[in-house]
Amino acid sequence: MADPSFVKTFVQSTEEVETGRAFEYWRDSISALSGVDIHTTKPASAFSAGRFIARASHSVLLHTRSDQVGVTRLAHHIRRDEDDSVSLAMFLSGSGYFEQGNRGARLVPGDISLVDAHRPYQVGGYEAYEEVRLRVSRSLFRTHVGEPEVYAGRVIPSGPHSALFASYLQTYAGLVGRMSEAEAKVAIEGALHLVWTFTATSEGPVSSEALRSLALVHIERGLHDPHFGPEAMCRSLQVSRTRLYAAFAEGDGVVATIRDARLDRARAYLSHPAQARESVATIMIRCGFTDPSLFSRSFRRRFGVAPRDVRPR
């Protein structure tokens, strides 16, 4: 009897190319595999990433370590490749965001997001991150978890189950190269059964906590736009001003949250050696500020120092 065909595994890394082409290589390799647009705020010359891939006929497992990136899948990608898979992804380190339809959240290690590739979505890391992602066929997901339309955009918050799920997938990654297609399918069905036990299919109206989490994703993505504010968020999230403000009732409010997020990003840019050649004015504009005096006063009020004082010596 012929030997069974084993699952194909391989590694991709920016170490394989010259430094100046690292991000270009990573962008093209991800686009070829997933049908997405990818972007980063990291200088192209300093970008680095790598991932382990196990590709079977029924699933793809990706274990990725990467500098900050954002990924967008739009309608033209869907029309072009007709990818009909469902992905389950979990950050192991770092933080990021995820949005599909009117669902999504800011993600921290342990959160599990569910993505339907047949609908537009946006995902990404706010910083360098490590992630494990399992892509399965729509039919396999439907059989072992449920209808993808019900789960698309869902986030399973971090908990004890997260460690179990991560351990399961990492163990699978270590063994899959010695598995036949049939053995790997059984293992993947086990992973999907775990996901099914983690969450119920019923869902009520979006809670204030969930709305706040999704709004924070929009804030992080809109900080470069000086016109971005509560009204734009209401239109984008399709909620009333009352609901949005209620979601930020605990704390300083939505306007202050946007302002502080702009200032936090400005400080991160100003203090990073890779941005040393950028002027304070340029970074101010990149963070959505248009008035230098207001920016300087707000920065000093929040951090106790002037913008120029946090620049690397």
DSSP class of 18: -
Predicted pLDDT at 262:
94
Backbone angles phi, psi at 256, to 5 degrees: -65, -35
DSSP-derived pairing of the beta strands 8-13 and 49-55: antiparallel
User: Of 44, 47, 39, 49, which is closest to residue 74 (Cα–Cα)?
Assistant: 39
On whether residue 161 sits in a domain, the answer given is: yes
Distance of CA 304 to the CA centre of its chain: 32
- 42 and 186 both lie in a single domain: yes
- 157 and 102 both lie in a single domain: yes
SS3 109: coil
The structure tokens 């036990």 sit at 197
**Which amino acid is residue 312, in one-letter code?**
P
**pTM of the entire structure?**
0.70
- The enclosing domain of 21 has a CATH number of 2.60.120.10
Q: What is the largest CA-CA distance in the chain?
A: 78
User: Of 253, 259, 257, 252, which is closest to residue 299 (Cα–Cα)?
Assistant: 259
Predicted pLDDT at 201:
41
Query: Backbone dihedral region of 268: left (phi > 0), alpha (psi from -120 to 50 degrees) or beta?
Result: alpha
Last residue in a domain, options 142, 170, 198: 198
Predicted pLDDT at 206:
57
Last residue in a domain, options 143, 168, 198: 198
Q: At CB < 8 A and 24+ separation, what contacts does 27-33 make?
A: 30/71, 33/60
Tokens of 87: 């992905």
Q: Which residues, including other chains, have CB under 8 Å from residue 71's CB and lie 6 or more apart?
A: 30, 34, 36, 37, 38, 122, 123, 124
Owning domain of residue 74? 8-198
The structure tokens 């009333």 sit at 240
Domain count, the chain: 2
Is residue 117 within 8 A of residue 87, CB to CB? The reply is yes
pLDDT string in tens for the chain (313-residue length): 344 578 999 999 998 888 788 898 998 888 776 788 898 877 767 899 999 999 999 999 999 999 999 999 998 888 888 788 999 999 999 999 988 887 888 899 999 999 999 999 999 998 899 999 999 999 999 999 888 988 888 888 888 888 889 999 999 999 999 999 999 999 999 999 888 888 754 444 556 777 787 788 788 878 888 989 998 888 877 778 888 898 898 878 899 999 999 999 999 899 988 788 889 999 999 999 999 999 999 999 999 999 999 998 7
- 137 and 95 both lie in a single domain: yes
Is residue 30 within 8 A of residue 36, CB to CB? The reply is yes
Is residue 169 within 8 A of residue 134, CB to CB? The reply is yes
On whether residue 2 sits in a domain, the answer given is: no
- 194 and 219 both lie in a single domain: no
Helices (H), ranges, the chain: 22-34, 75-81, 138-144, 148-151, 160-175, 181-198, 208-222, 230-237, 241-247, 254-271, 280-286, 292-303
On whether residue 3 sits in a domain, the answer given is: no
Is residue 291 within 8 A of residue 252, CB to CB? The reply is no
